[in-house]
Amino acid sequence: MSKAAGENFNLDPGGHWSPRDCAARSRVIIIIPYRDRLAHLTRWLHHYHPIFQRQLLEYRIVVTEQYGTGTFNKGRIMNAAFLECRKAFQFDCVIFHDVDMLLENDRNMYVCGNDTTPKHLSPAVDKFRYKIVFDNLVGGVLVMTVSLFEEVNGYSNEYWGWGGEDDDMWERFLEVNATVVRPPLAIGRYKMIKHKSRGKEANYTIIDPLLKTSRSRMHHDGLSNSSYRIVYKSSKPLYTHFIFDINTDKS
């Protein structure tokens, strides 16, 4: 790819873009949970900026990084990023996106449905032979309106290590009578960049009991009790970058 002008994708600082000649289909914020996967992130940014512009979105890319080396908690850093973005930016649709997921078919539109139809955009992943593995899968790429994300009180803050927070979100959707919709398998296709499996970090003795109480817990576990310290924030050329210390109630 050539350097100079082409390299910044005509973005506003912080990885924001809107169509010049028409009203955008949607104002979208894409939140990427992140730690120590720079090669993935670089590839992600170069893959998606051209696609989102072809889709004529008004969009902003937000990288939410967990500070330190403690156990990862994807729910906490995604909630923190949402809350900080809500203070600073205008958007009506939010997308949570793993850094290692590369879309293959750009007819898969990064736009919201309505407040009762969250969209799971990534049912067909190469690693799983492009088949959906569980009916309640919402990990990978998940799209919903800001109102719905607020209605379910965001993600749970309680899942440390690998797994659980996405399955918990599925339960939250059930509780508010929202129905997950998906593109056809031919459209919702992704390559997952290879990485070491973190499955061994899973702690099922914690995950399984928590999942049983998702629906009663959701109103007091999520955005409403989110606790974090902003360590760093910056408008980079290709994205808005936050680093959050989320161990505020542990130390």
> Considering only CA atoms, which of 204, 200, 191, 111 is closest in space to residue 159?
204
Q: Which is nearer to Mn ion, 163 or 222 (CB)?
A: 163
Closest distance to Mn ion from the beta carbon of 42 (Å): 16
Given the rule CB under 5 A, which of 27-35, 83-91, 93-101, 154-162 is the region that contacts Mn ion?
Answer: 93-101
Task: Name which of Mn ion, ligand UDP, none residue 74 binds, using a CB cut-off of 5 to 8 Å depending on partner kind.
Answer: ligand UDP
Closest distance to Mn ion from the beta carbon of 198 (Å): 8
Q: Are 58 and 18 in contact (CB under 8 A)?
A: yes
Instruction: Give me the amino acid identity at 146.
Output: V
Give the number of other CB atoms < 10 A from CB of residue 107.
11
Torsion 160-162-164-170 (CA) sign: positive
> Considering only CA atoms, which of 62, 77, 101 is closest in space to residue 234?
62
Closest distance to ligand UDP from the beta carbon of 130 (Å): 16
Task: Name which of Mn ion, ligand UDP, none residue 58 binds, using a CB cut-off of 5 to 8 Å depending on partner kind.
Answer: none
Closest residue to ligand UDP, Cβ-based? 98
How far is residue 35's CA from residue 32's CA, in Å, rounded to a whole number? 10
Q: Which is nearer to ligand UDP, 78 or 178 (CB)?
A: 78
DSSP designation for 225 = G
Closest distance to ligand UDP from the beta carbon of 18 (Å): 25
The strand pairing partners of 241, in sequence order, are 63, 234
Q: Is 165 a residue that touches Mn ion (CB under 5 A)? A: no
Binding test (CB under 5 A) with Mn ion, winner from 58, 100, 166, 171? 100
Task: Name which of ligand UDP, Mn ion, none residue 34 binds, using a CB cut-off of 5 to 8 Å depending on partner kind.
Answer: ligand UDP
Helix (H) or strand (E) holding 54: helix 38-54
Task: Name which of ligand UDP, Mn ion, none residue 154 binds, using a CB cut-off of 5 to 8 Å depending on partner kind.
Answer: none
The token pair at 63 is 């990288």
Q: Which is nearer to Mn ion, 191 or 236 (CB)?
A: 191
How far is residue 215's CA from residue 150's CA, in Å, rounded to a whole number? 15
Closest distance to ligand UDP from the beta carbon of 35 (Å): 4
Q: Enumerate binding residues for ligand UDP (CB under 6 A).
A: 32-37, 72, 74, 98-100, 139, 198
Cα-based angle 101, 102, 104 (whole degrees, multiple of 5): 135
Name the site residues for Mn ion (rule: CB under 5 A).
Answer: 100
